[in-house]
Amino acid sequence: MRKILVAIDGSQCAAKAVEYCGMQFSDLSVTLLHVLPNFPPEFWDDGHILNKREKQAQSRASRKWLENQEQQAQQLFLDAIDVLKQKGIPSGRLETKVIPDSSDVATSILDEARDGGYLTLVLGRHGFSRAHEFFVGSTTNRIIHQGAGIAVCLVE
């Protein structure tokens, strides 16, 4: 079956990308991909040797943070699946995938697109100014510049 990969992050642009896929690719299999970010710095080892109680507290906080991230991803998937079903894509051709603890979202998305054998990668473009993208860069910019060999559909 021919497959499309749609990277979503909860933004309005990602929602537009999902809607676009529903209109344009209703005869294909669609995988919704969400990349979970790295653990925030508060969970990193700062060189302090933790005692047993501190380790347990840090472990609980890390688990809670990850559970929250996964719940948010599941809601993103449910919302996107509703849109795609309304556009006529049957649930049997919809799949979801989460990449956990990514230190580089763009690379994670590109690796999945290449390794998963997808025909096209669909992304929404975030509304950063050109100056912001020039100095900071964006996931979408990096994917476009590093995605040689992958068809990328950018939805604005």
Q: pLDDT tens-digit profile of 104-144?
A: 889 999 999 999 989 899 988 765 445 545 544 588 888 88
Residue owning tokens 């919302």: 79
Highest mean pLDDT among 58-62, 75-79, 98-102, 123-127: 75-79
pTM for the whole structure: 0.82
Whole-angstrom Cα distance, residue 28 to residue 87? Answer: 12
Is pLDDT of 153 > 50? Answer: yes
Map out the domains of the chain with their CATH numbers.
Answer: 3-155 (3.40.50.620)
Whole-angstrom Cα distance, residue 63 to residue 69? Answer: 10
